[in-house]
Structure 1
């Protein structure tokens, strides 16, 4: 079966459980959805609904208690070698320059230094940092560090991008610039993307489809919304379209109750 005819990522009846004082906490249960090859899917839901847990399962960093993750039709065993993971937290090595950070995965794989440097400079140019290859992370702004992290992830040419709240720490202007950078790179390469976010506006602006998770425990998908807004997109301009507001209202109608349920649950345990 070719990769063109099967989903890039498929969650089949996924349940994830964690030991807690006094018992076991079921983070997710009965999770079934997939991401097509080249499809950009965002997952939204209340805090603590297991979004990052699912991302870690797709990366092979977490083995589900039940069910299985399929990668292009094959059960995932161990780390997902076909995926690149862009974390929410800083993932750059502070002792390495921008170019060294970007090319680190290539050098670990034995790519000759001159070839790694050439490819690294190409990716720094794609994210607008070709003038800063020798800068260290502490010498770069937050937005510039995110650009380095994006180049670091993309240079390995993964088939799947896993992104966990990747731009949440940025100011709104830098965040929109980074979102547009991501869309430009995605439009060029058409990777499968699983994007985790708390920001419904961001999810709609970026995605082909938005999956809504229920409040935990035992969180599971309760809605899947196709986003048919035209591409290519500018994330600032797309928010002004009436169709954007229509999508937002439809998804928020489902999401709002789960956010309130999660809030009440949290307040009950404070």
Structure 2
């Protein structure tokens, strides 16, 4: 079996303009990214640089224009069934109770309803929502909905977890609680995680490795940093460690110019 859970190899993603099909936009170019089994990797980069595009390629939701994807050494064809995807935007079904939302993936896989609901309740307990299974999404706070979405992904016991800025909409206290919760659950089973975030502090606090992407178009990796902070970590406490501050300065030194380029591009588009 390959040591890598997920490999994106020489990926290029080019899109045609909606208004003029003769015009093309290359979002991602010459990008190779590997995540080992049990490794927590974060990807940071400017707004609109193609981070989510790479995640969609890894999930099998988007076929790259060039390059290849491997899952545990095997070429990916179609949807990545060994991956669970936690989206940035809410993916809970509003007409289903929390427990039904968590159970739905298990039922799609053929698990009997009673067994699926039992496992769903167990996962709600594990993410701190025991007793809230009968609530509908609109009856839950933002943090509770994120916990439900996390339980929905983890209940499927995926070998790879893909996370697209899952906590960006939360207040800082709830966000740190969720970050620690993810780290605790990840430490228990050591799944491969590919985590997309705009927040450099979050990336360093949670990860084994941080990959920096250039500003678009044709984004590509321009830096890679091993995060050698000891585990287990508390995401609030680890920020006070001298090594954290040192790593932050190193990574920000690479990321800063790309963020400024991305910001200038956004202003140009708005003009």
> Is the TM-score greater than 0.5?
yes
User: Aligned partners of 1:55, 1:114: CA distance in 2, in Å?
Assistant: 33
Query: Displacement, 1:250?
Result: 0.3
- Deviation string, structure 1 residues 40-68 (Cα, Å, up to 9, x no partner): 00000001110000000000000000001
- What corresponds to 1:210 in structure 2? 210
For 1:55-204, list aligned pairs within 5 A: 55-204=55-204
CA distance in 2, matches of 1:223, 1:203: 14
What secondary structure, in the 3-state scheme, does the structure 1 residue paired with 2:4 have? coil
Instruction: Using the TM superposition, name which of 37-46 and 5-14 deviates more.
Output: 5-14
1:14 counterpart (11, 17, 20): 11
Q: Give me the whole-angstrom Cα distance separating, in 1, the residues matched to 2:268 and 2:81.
A: 41
Distance 2:45 2:109 in 1: 37
The Cα of 1:267 is off from its aligned counterpart by: 2.5
Mapped to 2, the partners of 1:268 and 1:154 lie a distance apart of 41
Partner residue of 1:38?
38
Secondary structure of 1:210's partner? strand
Q: CA deviation at 1:262?
A: 1.4
SS in structure 1 opposite 2:70?
Answer: strand
- CA displacement, residues 108-138 of structure 1 (integer Å, 9 cap, x when unaligned): 1221222112211110110011111100000
- CA distance in 1 between counterparts of 2:104 and 2:266 reads 41
Cα distance, 1:182 vs structure 2: 0.3
Shift of 1:266: 2.6
SS at match of 1:27: strand
Q: Name the residue aligned to 1:263.
A: 263
Partner Cα distance (1:41, 1:110) in 2: 31
Map of 1:227 onto structure 2: 227
Cα displacement (A) at 1:74: 1.1
**Structure 2, unpaired ranges of 5+:** none
Secondary structure of the structure 2 residue equivalent to 1:33 = strand
**1:132-186 CA distances to partner (integer Å, 9 max, x unpaired)?**
1100000000000000000000000000000001000000000000000100000
TM-score w.r.t. the length of structure 2 is: 0.97
TM-score by length of 1: 0.97
Q: Secondary structure at the match of 1:77?
A: coil
Aligned structure 1 segments of 4 or more residues deviating by more than 6 angstroms: none
**2: CA distance, partners of 1:179 / 1:130:** 19
Classify the secondary structure of the residue corresponding to 2:237. Answer: helix
Cα distance between partner residues in 1 of 2:61 and 2:168: 22
Q: Which runs of 5 or more residues in structure 1 are unaligned?
A: none
Cα distance in 2 between the residues matched to 1:74 and 1:109: 22
